[in-house]
Amino acid sequence: MSPALLEISSAPVEVKLRDLKLEARNSAPTRYYNARLDPVNYMDGPLSTNPATRLRQMLARPGIVTAPGICDGISARCAVEAGFKCLYQSGAATTASRLGQPDLAIATMNDFVGAAEMVCGLSPEIPVIADADTGFGGPANIARTVKKYAQAGVAGLHIEDQVQTKRCGHLLGKQVVSREEFMTRIRAAVLARDQISGGSDFVIIGRTDSAQVLGMDEAIHRLKLAADAGADVCFIEGVKTKELLETTVKALAPTPVLVNVISGGLTPPFTYKEAEAMGAKIIIFSLVSCVSMMHAVRAAMKSLMETGTDFISAQGMGPKEFFEVMGLDEVVTLDAKAGGSAFKVI
């Protein structure tokens, strides 16, 4: 074949390749951006009474957000009494406290939403970050989950990339879905948030459990994709060393990173100050309430069985002192201001 014929015959191929490249470039997904939710909009001014807005303010401003895991009304009250400014509704703790079951995808969305409605109602201005497991189904289910959580007063939730029959992130044998399915979950959550009327500040957190299954490189890559899809925060589950957490934070910057610490779990027992020094923006202690509660209740039951009385386990706390931690004074004050007389003597 002559050079001239070769040039003529190859020209259409070159044009086609050029068109394909242009089409691929034009169809490539762009990074999600919502000007209203830009962190710069949350850096100044007093903290909002809206929990989702307040959480965004806390994320935009200096300092780590420390959220103890709560499992019920008692643990939530104790966390607030201790001075915590953010709470974490742990899926494992909620499943244990409400169902008496292990964290193996047994609890439903309704179980989690019911728990959230109660917790968020105790101190409505304090942000609650809630576990949403895998979103409880496909895109439509995930959208419903986001809207239900937001209606319950939750400030933000995290959705993970485990298969539907998931397990606690600090157990072995985990399986994860494909990158594509994980991104579908994140996009569905973001779309649902953006469809809430009035402009919701609800925070979407993308969580990956792939580090123990596919390695840290894949975990970081998935979190980058989650941030591109609109996740406000990235949650790296089961990070095993200080160096790996620092690497993750650096790779995902400026997207905030959440780390989960469970005593005896896969992640070292970082303090919140240590995690802050490593660059983490949120640290949660998922089982701090329910594990300590189990120890305390076990000891109390053993003492009652052995001594025949609860005097020792009560440690001098009577009913009134107990109810004061549960908000007794608030109820009495409200009743009096309204003109009631039911609680003049209590």
Whether 42 is catalytic is no
Cα 195 from Cα 135, distance rounded (Å): 17
Whether 232 is catalytic is no
* Assigned token pair, 77: 């009250």
Catalytic residue among 72, 103, 201, 232, which? 103
DSSP string, 179-241: HHHHHHHHHHHHHHHHTSTTT--PEEEEEE-THHHH-HHHHHHHHHHHHHHT-SEEEETT--S
Catalytic residue among 77, 86, 187, 260, which? 260
Catalytic residue among 86, 207, 209, 272, which? 207
Catalytic residue among 88, 170, 201, 232, which? 88
Whether 329 is catalytic is no
Whether 133 is catalytic is yes
Whether 44 is catalytic is no
Whether 32 is catalytic is no
* Assigned token pair, 91: 């899926």
Catalytic residue among 133, 161, 201, 209, which? 133
Catalytic residue among 54, 56, 77, 158, which? 158
Catalytic residue among 131, 161, 209, 232, which? 131
Catalytic residue among 71, 86, 168, 290, which? 168
Q: Provide the β-strand partners of residue 236.
A: 208, 259
> Residue 336: what are its φ and ψ, rounded to 5°?
-65, -45
Catalytic residue among 72, 160, 201, 209, which? 160
Q: Are 110 and 159 in contact (CB under 8 A)?
A: no
Catalytic residue among 71, 237, 272, 290, which? 237
Peptide bond connecting 3 to the previous residue in cis, omega within 30 degrees of 0: no
Active-site residue list: 88, 103, 131, 133, 158, 160, 168, 207, 237, 260
